[in-house]
Chains A and B, each alone.
Chain A
């Protein structure tokens, strides 16, 4: 994903709704003990589909240009192409459903840190100096999965610069992260996260507003049984 595409994707999220809307972003990582794993990223705008469909009929809304279906598909295709070229990434797929407005990107990684490079590259291309605000690592020896996250201070200030109308877009938006493992989880450091009944998955739900404002931290260190 080049910066321009990234920006457009962001815009697309901005645009979606007049007043407010509900949408969810889901990040799923399935870790295998050998360090490899799968990622599925989902954006689901289904709850706002009436609004999205209305907006799609317009040229622009609140000053942002509305991308066409073709444009969105093209951008998604380019994102896939970028991922395919990335180190350690394979099996890249994307889906888009324009009836329910759901899009996904999925891929397999050799090492979970491969994802960090992608984020890093995007950030580098965007010339953002917020070094490593978010990173993933998996220590095969200790069987520790670590997600580091630090609320980007600039994100909050940038967000506050938005018009209140545009801010409202995020009011009903949710972020969910799910990490699944082959071995049961012994402990997690983030008290906001939940452990599944099978003890093999950890979920964290948060509103995107809290994430931007730094009210919630998604950092977590997950210790698996050896």
Chain B
């Protein structure tokens, strides 16, 4: 109101105030933002897994963690193996309040597995990894340690730690044209050695200090192919760094932090940077190969023809070593990029950012199920065909823990067509009448599902075609089309959907005790044995299975047939299946458009004469009625219900009941298709007396380890 009265002055002041408040806020936000290492994950990362340190340590203070069984074990084991003394996980130097990431990058030639861990105290972290035998190289504030055998490397500065391992894909180097490009060749006896020269350029990359000093320009020539699509935007000024090895020229425009790194790298970088401008880094240029080739000519001529066989064997081993070295060179370059260049981060990926949830403790995101399959398909040889699983997009999973439960929520992105098909199929709710037959007070568990049979039968062939179509090969498409049509022709979807509507419920409404006969022996005065039949009590779960069916003609015909053949007997409209192999009796009946199956005659009778004691709780009702798929297991309703002698003695029974008593409800449900995403949740409630799910988990681990 005041604003209206003194509009100019007040609004001005207000704005000023706002700006003044906003600046530090923005600054803070920016800082926080910048600290999150997600920015460092390239946009083409294939899988991203996150552990959210702040959410984890909200549930369990660092101090509690250190004192927990798991924490103590971790600390003592680490201390022991490194011969150091750690008393807190904070001694590792990791920033526990920030997110830790794992990601991988796939290409046709190499797969990188990478970890990005926020660092709080680099000195402490160094203490953790440092070892007499390992050399740490320092480039300004960036330190690098190479893993034994050059299988990976760790790079860190004051802010983050990056760990990468790479594995070369054998399928890539099976292609001689491609492998020759990288100085690897397929070794066959009688191979001529003309190309050795080319190979040598790479071979000079020694495993230990590969990345900088010796590799010289070759490192850059063999730019990692994983960079495909990973656009690198090197600071323009960087390109002015000349080829002088020492890199004495400092780049004034670069941040101090990066400057020295860049400087040292400059011995390696010059060609790369120029190339980056030309061709986005990933295309090796031939002119470079020729240069190195000529350098190594002498090596080639040194090999005499007589030694060829020995050489052949040596070469084979060497080629493997070269591949490994090549992998290392690529890894080094990739790690450099993570530290030194700007590129589009995964944050800009819509699917990724949509999958995030602040409340989750851990998250997993896989960019595309279809691509995941296609990327491994070549490894299967002729069996692996790309194109399968078409239409399956990104997958995500999130883990939540809170005061009452664990929950895992998963989502799968579908192509629009698929999503539409699923929407049609899932356009059915569970028959409301089913709910009458759940007794929540006694129910040990249930599982309900509902789909639209008609839609399912109509969509099924299409989905199959889409999912597996290319598996059968392109020239099979007509046949698939034909098969699909035949399927539709033979099946009257409408008619089938009248017999089996597509919703069903399986419920175990508690246990009941039955008399069971068995054979044993009595002995006469001479201890001659006589077979006798005795009875004993046996406690068995009462299961009830029901599905909706509007057209009972087929069922009735089947029943009639069964009765004629003595497979089925009838009593009070309740049919019994006469099958000796079955450990329990199975009864069934049809009522109100529902087909019931169960092992308790009494239960079916009560349904038949409308005396079933219906007592479904609101939660159970919602769970069943609102979801296409739901599952519940309530162990508590099982506690003390099984007689001790049937479990096998008091001790076993006690343990059995204790375990069950500790279990909360476990349930699963599918969610409706939202947009193009199908999703499902699994939750497990934790028992009373535990602060939260994480602490409960720790106590479980501790108990299991004892």
A and B: partners?
yes
Would you call A99 and B520 a contact (CB within 8 A)? no
Complex interface bits, B505-537 against A, C-beta within 8 A gives 1, otherwise 0: 000000000001011110101111100000010
Q: How far is the CB of A39 from chain B (nearest CB, A)?
A: 14
Which residues of the other chain, B, contact A203 by a CB distance below 8 angstroms? 523, 527
Would you call B529 and A201 a contact (CB within 8 A)? no
Within 8 A of B (CB), among A135-186: 164, 168, 171-172, 178, 180
B618 located at the interface, meaning its Cβ lies under 8 Å from any Cβ of chain A in the complex:
no
Q: Which of B520, B527, B529, B580 contacts A47 (CB 8 A)?
A: B520
A24 located at the interface, meaning its Cβ lies under 8 Å from any Cβ of chain B in the complex:
yes
9-residue interface stretch from B438-446, B546-554, B643-651: B643-651
**Please, how many angstroms separate the alpha-carbon atoms of A102 and B518 in the complex?**
11
Q: How far is the CB of A190 from chain B (nearest CB, A)?
A: 15
Would you call B521 and A26 a contact (CB within 8 A)? yes
A120 located at the interface, meaning its Cβ lies under 8 Å from any Cβ of chain B in the complex:
no
B583 located at the interface, meaning its Cβ lies under 8 Å from any Cβ of chain A in the complex:
yes
Would you call A53 and B582 a contact (CB within 8 A)? yes
Would you call B648 and A100 a contact (CB within 8 A)? no
9-residue interface stretch from A59-67, A87-95, A192-200, A218-226: A192-200
A114 located at the interface, meaning its Cβ lies under 8 Å from any Cβ of chain B in the complex:
no
Q: Which of A47, A53, A196, A198 contacts B583 (CB 8 A)?
A: A53
Would you call A19 and B584 a contact (CB within 8 A)? no
Would you call A99 and B652 a contact (CB within 8 A)? no
Q: How far is the CB of B389 from chain A (nearest CB, A)?
A: 29
Which residues of the other chain, B, contact A201 by a CB distance below 8 angstroms? 526-528
In the complex, the chain B residue whose C-beta lies closest to that of A28 is B529
**Please, how many angstroms separate the alpha-carbon atoms of A51 and B528 in the complex?**
29
Would you call B520 and A171 a contact (CB within 8 A)? no
B538 located at the interface, meaning its Cβ lies under 8 Å from any Cβ of chain A in the complex:
yes
B581 located at the interface, meaning its Cβ lies under 8 Å from any Cβ of chain A in the complex:
yes
* Chain A interfacial residues counted at CB < 8 A: 33
Would you call B647 and A200 a contact (CB within 8 A)? no
Which residues of the other chain, A, contact B212 by a CB distance below 8 angstroms? none
In the complex, the chain B residue whose C-beta lies closest to that of A165 is B652
Would you call B583 and A178 a contact (CB within 8 A)? no
**Please, how many angstroms separate the alpha-carbon atoms of A56 and B647 in the complex?**
19
Would you call B525 and A197 a contact (CB within 8 A)? yes
Which residues of the other chain, B, contact A44 by a CB distance below 8 angstroms? 519-521
Within 8 A of B (CB), among A45-60: 46-47, 49-54, 56-57
In the complex, the chain A residue whose C-beta lies closest to that of B521 is A26
**Please, how many angstroms separate the alpha-carbon atoms of A28 and B518 in the complex?**
21
Q: How far is the CB of B583 from chain A (nearest CB, A)?
A: 3
Which residues of the other chain, B, contact A178 by a CB distance below 8 angstroms? 523, 527, 529
Most buried by A among B518, B519, B526, B527: B527
In the complex, the chain A residue whose C-beta lies closest to that of B652 is A168
In the complex, the chain A residue whose C-beta lies closest to that of B538 is A50
Q: How far is the CB of A79 from chain B (nearest CB, A)?
A: 22
In the complex, the chain A residue whose C-beta lies closest to that of B523 is A203
Would you call A198 and B525 a contact (CB within 8 A)? yes
Would you call B529 and A26 a contact (CB within 8 A)? yes
**Please, how many angstroms separate the alpha-carbon atoms of A8 and B536 in the complex?**
29
Q: How far is the CB of B31 from chain A (nearest CB, A)?
A: 54
Which secondary structure characterizes the binding site on chain B? Answer: mixed
Q: Which of B519, B527, B647, B656 contacts A100 (CB 8 A)?
A: B519
**Please, how many angstroms separate the alpha-carbon atoms of A21 and B582 in the complex?**
18
A117 located at the interface, meaning its Cβ lies under 8 Å from any Cβ of chain B in the complex:
no
Q: How far is the CB of B531 from chain A (nearest CB, A)?
A: 9
B638 located at the interface, meaning its Cβ lies under 8 Å from any Cβ of chain A in the complex:
no
Q: How large is the interface on B (under 10, 10 to 19, 20 to 34, 35 or more residues)?
A: 20 to 34
**Please, how many angstroms separate the alpha-carbon atoms of A44 and B647 in the complex?**
19
Would you call B518 and A171 a contact (CB within 8 A)? no
**Please, how many angstroms separate the alpha-carbon atoms of A46 and B519 in the complex?**
6
Q: Which of A47, A51, A52, A53 contacts B536 (CB 8 A)?
A: A47
Within 8 A of B (CB), among A188-213: 196-198, 200-203
A20 located at the interface, meaning its Cβ lies under 8 Å from any Cβ of chain B in the complex:
yes
B540 located at the interface, meaning its Cβ lies under 8 Å from any Cβ of chain A in the complex:
yes
Q: Which of A20, A26, A52, A102 contacts B647 (CB 8 A)?
A: A20
Would you call A19 and B526 a contact (CB within 8 A)? no
Which residues of the other chain, A, contact B582 by a CB distance below 8 angstroms? 53
**Please, how many angstroms separate the alpha-carbon atoms of A49 and B519 in the complex?**
10
Complex interface bits, B650-672 against A, C-beta within 8 A gives 1, otherwise 0: 00100010000000000000000
**Please, how many angstroms separate the alpha-carbon atoms of A100 and B459 in the complex?**
48
In the complex, the chain B residue whose C-beta lies closest to that of A209 is B649
Which residues of the other chain, B, contact A56 by a CB distance below 8 angstroms? 581
Q: How far is the CB of B448 from chain A (nearest CB, A)?
A: 24
Would you call A19 and B525 a contact (CB within 8 A)? no
In the complex, the chain B residue whose C-beta lies closest to that of A195 is B527
Which residues of the other chain, A, contact B647 by a CB distance below 8 angstroms? 19-20, 168
Would you call A20 and B526 a contact (CB within 8 A)? no
Would you call B580 and A51 a contact (CB within 8 A)? no
**Please, how many angstroms separate the alpha-carbon atoms of A197 and B526 in the complex?**
7
Q: How far is the CB of B483 from chain A (nearest CB, A)?
A: 32
Given that A19-B652, A46-B520, A50-B516 are known contacts, is A196 also in contact with B527, CB under 8 Å in the complex?
yes
In the complex, the chain B residue whose C-beta lies closest to that of A51 is B583
Q: How far is the CB of A199 from chain B (nearest CB, A)?
A: 9
**Please, how many angstroms separate the alpha-carbon atoms of A102 and B529 in the complex?**
14
**Please, how many angstroms separate the alpha-carbon atoms of A198 and B521 in the complex?**
19
Q: How far is the CB of A173 from chain B (nearest CB, A)?
A: 10
Would you call B518 and A46 a contact (CB within 8 A)? yes
**Please, how many angstroms separate the alpha-carbon atoms of A202 and B527 in the complex?**
8
In the complex, the chain A residue whose C-beta lies closest to that of B519 is A46
Would you call B649 and A171 a contact (CB within 8 A)? yes
Which residues of the other chain, B, contact A52 by a CB distance below 8 angstroms? 583
**Please, how many angstroms separate the alpha-carbon atoms of A51 and B581 in the complex?**
12
Q: Which of A21, A99, A164, A200 contacts B526 (CB 8 A)?
A: A200
In the complex, the chain B residue whose C-beta lies closest to that of A100 is B519
Which residues of the other chain, A, contact B528 by a CB distance below 8 angstroms? 180, 201
Would you call B540 and A50 a contact (CB within 8 A)? yes
Complex interface bits, B553-588 against A, C-beta within 8 A gives 1, otherwise 0: 000000000000000000000000000111110000
Would you call B523 and A49 a contact (CB within 8 A)? no
Would you call B521 and A99 a contact (CB within 8 A)? no
**Please, how many angstroms separate the alpha-carbon atoms of A21 and B646 in the complex?**
7
Which residues of the other chain, A, contact B648 by a CB distance below 8 angstroms? 19-21, 168, 171-172
Most buried by B among A46, A57, A99, A102: A46
In the complex, the chain A residue whose C-beta lies closest to that of B645 is A172
Most buried by B among A47, A52, A180, A197: A47
Which residues of the other chain, B, contact A21 by a CB distance below 8 angstroms? 648
**Please, how many angstroms separate the alpha-carbon atoms of A198 and B647 in the complex?**
39
Would you call A20 and B652 a contact (CB within 8 A)? yes
Complex interface bits, B624-635 against A, C-beta within 8 A gives 1, otherwise 0: 000000000000
9 A-B pairs whose Cβ atoms sit less than 8 Å apart in the complex: A20-B646, A20-B652, A46-B518, A47-B518, A57-B581, A171-B649, A178-B527, A180-B526, A201-B528
Q: Given contacts A24-B520, A171-B648, A180-B528, list 6 more A-B pairs with CB under 8 A.
A: A20-B647, A47-B520, A49-B516, A196-B527, A201-B526, A203-B527
7 nearest A-B pairs in the assembled complex, by CB-CB distance: A20-B648, A53-B583, A201-B527, A197-B525, A171-B648, A46-B518, A168-B648
